[in-house]
A and B are shown apart, each in its own frame.
Chain A
């Protein structure tokens, strides 16, 4: 008689922050009174899986072996949760009790939640988990619901929808893994066209520069002049998500359980407001749930009414803006989320909001204005590359924009932005680095000649810019030069960039 294995290992994975951790699931059955234990710092969602497994096995024609069943999920020192361990545990039981045949030494990876009648369902965090699987697995079983995640992770796997499917895979040798690349649905055709910014040349140019070089943007204008719309337009003129970006976007959305299959994968546009809490912004240190900053990775973080934000909240943004990451500390461990986004702030220029409006509609005294704007001053404003004012569109321009006779302009602009980003990719040899985000931006890297540097420092002195402000001036100038297709920066590029640096 072939010796029956008393312990069998199946592989699965759980998400910890933005990383997946591979875990081994060992199942042993030994003679004795029937018991069923799961160990390894599991929370109740895992411990409850015993009931689901028992019922699912029985309703699919299998049985739960008699004896001591012990399941150990490693690494045993890490807390884990989630119902995705149902399927691997069930598989381990089937293998160890000989109900399903498996050759010795085969590595099997599985995940999925079981229902009482044997159906297999997907669980949140699949994309992150599947991304961490190595290439050494012989069998990869995932629920049918997780096709898109598998596509993002770029793995080949077999989908199973019921325990019967699982049986077929092993009994009839029916393992035929597929690639799911085609399942990734990246959508970019829902946008507000840039032509609605007619008559607001400055804002229009500002968002184009911002999109090209990943420059943080601040828009000041009266309520209702179109700041939020301008932010959405900015999302529309950014290039289509690359497959890599798309999978990052998908993974974080899917982990947070916010992914909407009908909408597909779109460039993130996260909206934050003055009353936002620390954990909503940075992420929750309890369950490592990503915050708005992490969710905005590869997209736009839009701060509405920025002048109303408490100073403390603005300070929280400083580190992510500088390092392009956000950290969550939980039980002494630091979890790092990538956070590379364009920060767009929108707010009133003064207390009544009418400072830039036609005529003299502003009723604030110079002192009030100064006090109001000082909220934005200092280190935070330093991290903003482009500042533009906005004014309400006049009625006749509004009429023209609603006619839409000129056709859509966004597709052309988006092509331009894509090209300018290619130039930067070439310069920095990295698709994730742009003029606005590169850490070292000296005159040599940016190809600014001596006269250009002199002009820029003159301008910086005249405008009272800090050293960081001066560096931003050069970076924005570089982006403008890239937009005009110039290899070397010229004085004109700096001159234009200076217009978007406000002198408070």
Chain B
């Protein structure tokens, strides 16, 4: 674990010591007293306490800082347990200053400054570059919703779109399973810490996710999942996704939280039309009545996501001018599935002549080869 990760863990320990809140940190930053959340750790910790009377702060914040100072020993204890658990479980720490921090989160309020992951961290970047779909739904779904989940996620996986869900039973489990089975990419956002397997029945999926997917949580290592954490977990699912798919939702389902977070974060919500005679489906149907989009085929969704990612690629392309970055992007695209030069040209915003010459370069380097008019990765892909 590197120094930066340790300091982020210390910050987390301070935050979870029950003293300073997210709002206090926000206030400190907005008043220019600290420039980064890490400034309350290490040497900053003492300084903040000593100079607290000189600062123009609300009395609440001043009190919190005093509480924080007094809780030092508790904080150190927490930190020690975090480090132990993180090392044991191969957990990495991502903060808002990391380049892997989801770019879109910077424009949303209420996103965690630090979070924890286990598994393949590249998926965070993939989420941004290829787009992602949040797939959520009931823990006791009907067969119909399960089949639909499987079919939709399969199509997303073929396109390289990342499937985001919450590793709950039912729809969530199916979504992860379908993505993993189809060599797709998937992220599970956990309510407890990243090492906390909840529900325990999903241990098999959890292991597969650690191996081929990604586990993400804003809760520190070792934290048990508690009932009140679930709604805030749901807001991360929607924040990570470009669109939110509700496969089945009862009238008082947590899934509805995810949908309303998605709507307030400006993401499109699609709902699978379901049985009107089943109370377990009414939540979704009411969403439809309130203006959610009907989920009929995966291609509408894929199209929507592709529009989003196309803009991102163009933005990213503005500061890419060396060919190796473009080549990496080509290999990225090909890792999802074999493609023709025409397909690639629709995905990568560079002139066709440049694209073809890069393809030949890659081919001569034995990285890709042409088969039946399509380019395929020689290694890595499936």
Name A's B-contacting residues (CB within 8 A): 199-202, 204-205, 349, 355-356, 362, 389, 391, 458-459, 462, 480, 483-484, 491-496, 498-499, 503
Query: Are A205 and B340 also in contact (CB < 8 A) when A458-B364, A495-B361 are?
Result: no
Residues of A within 8 A of B374 (CB): 356
- Flag if B360 contacts A503 (CB, 8 Å): no
Closest to A349 in B: B373
Q: Which of A355, A356, A495 is in CB contact (< 8 Å) with B360? A: A495
- Flag if A495 contacts B342 (CB, 8 Å): no
Sample (15) of A-B pairs whose CB atoms are under 8 Å apart: A201-B341, A202-B352, A205-B352, A205-B356, A355-B372, A389-B373, A391-B340, A391-B373, A459-B364, A492-B357, A495-B360, A496-B353, A498-B360, A499-B357, A499-B360
Q: Which of B340, B352, B354, B361 is in CB contact (< 8 Å) with A389? A: B340
- Flag if B352 contacts A201 (CB, 8 Å): yes
- Flag if B340 contacts A496 (CB, 8 Å): no
Residues of A within 8 A of B360 (CB): 459, 494-496, 498-499
Complex A-B, nearest 9 residue pairs according to Cβ-Cβ distance, in ascending order: A495-B357, A495-B360, A389-B373, A492-B357, A499-B356, A356-B373, A498-B360, A496-B357, A201-B345
Residues of A within 8 A of B341 (CB): 201-202, 499
- Flag if A462 contacts B346 (CB, 8 Å): no
Query: Are A199 and B361 also in contact (CB < 8 A) when A496-B356, A503-B370 are?
Result: no
Query: Are A199 and B342 also in contact (CB < 8 A) when A480-B353, A495-B358, A503-B370 are?
Result: yes
- Flag if B373 contacts A205 (CB, 8 Å): no
* Distance between Cα atoms of A462 and B364 in the complex (Å): 7
- Flag if A202 contacts B353 (CB, 8 Å): no
Shortest beta-carbon distance, A244 to chain B, in Å? 32
- Flag if B342 contacts A200 (CB, 8 Å): yes
* Distance between Cα atoms of A374 and B296 in the complex (Å): 45
Residues of B within 8 A of A349 (CB): 373
- Additional A-B contacts beyond A201-B352, A204-B352 (9; CB < 8 A): A202-B342, A349-B373, A355-B372, A362-B372, A492-B357, A493-B357, A498-B360, A498-B364, A499-B359
Chain B 317-359 residues near chain A, CB threshold 8 A:
340-342, 345-346, 352-354, 356-359
Digitize B281-321: 1 where CB-to-A-CB distance is under 8 Å, 0 elsewhere.
00000000000000000000000000000000000000000
Interface of B (DSSP majority class): helix
Residues of A within 8 A of B358 (CB): 495
* Distance between Cα atoms of A389 and B340 in the complex (Å): 9
Shortest beta-carbon distance, A357 to chain B, in Å? 9
* Distance between Cα atoms of A389 and B364 in the complex (Å): 20
* Distance between Cα atoms of A480 and B357 in the complex (Å): 11
Shortest beta-carbon distance, B294 to chain A, in Å? 19
Chain B 115-155 residues near chain A, CB threshold 8 A:
none
- Flag if A202 contacts B357 (CB, 8 Å): no
Residues of A within 8 A of B354 (CB): 492
Shortest beta-carbon distance, B367 to chain A, in Å? 13
* Distance between Cα atoms of A127 and B33 in the complex (Å): 92
Q: Which of B352, B356, B373 is in CB contact (< 8 Å) with A495? A: B356
Closest to A483 in B: B353
* Distance between Cα atoms of A496 and B362 in the complex (Å): 12
Shortest beta-carbon distance, A502 to chain B, in Å? 8
Closest to B362 in A: A495
Most buried by B among A389, A458, A462: A389
Shortest beta-carbon distance, B75 to chain A, in Å? 58
Shortest beta-carbon distance, B74 to chain A, in Å? 60
* Distance between Cα atoms of A500 and B370 in the complex (Å): 12
Q: Which of A201, A483, A491 is in CB contact (< 8 Å) with B342? A: A201
Closest to B352 in A: A201
Residues of A within 8 A of B345 (CB): 201-202
Residues of B within 8 A of A200 (CB): 342
Residues of A within 8 A of B340 (CB): 202, 356, 389, 391
Residues of A within 8 A of B370 (CB): 503
* Distance between Cα atoms of A483 and B341 in the complex (Å): 20
Closest to A493 in B: B357
Closest to A202 in B: B341
Shortest beta-carbon distance, A229 to chain B, in Å? 16
Closest to B346 in A: A199
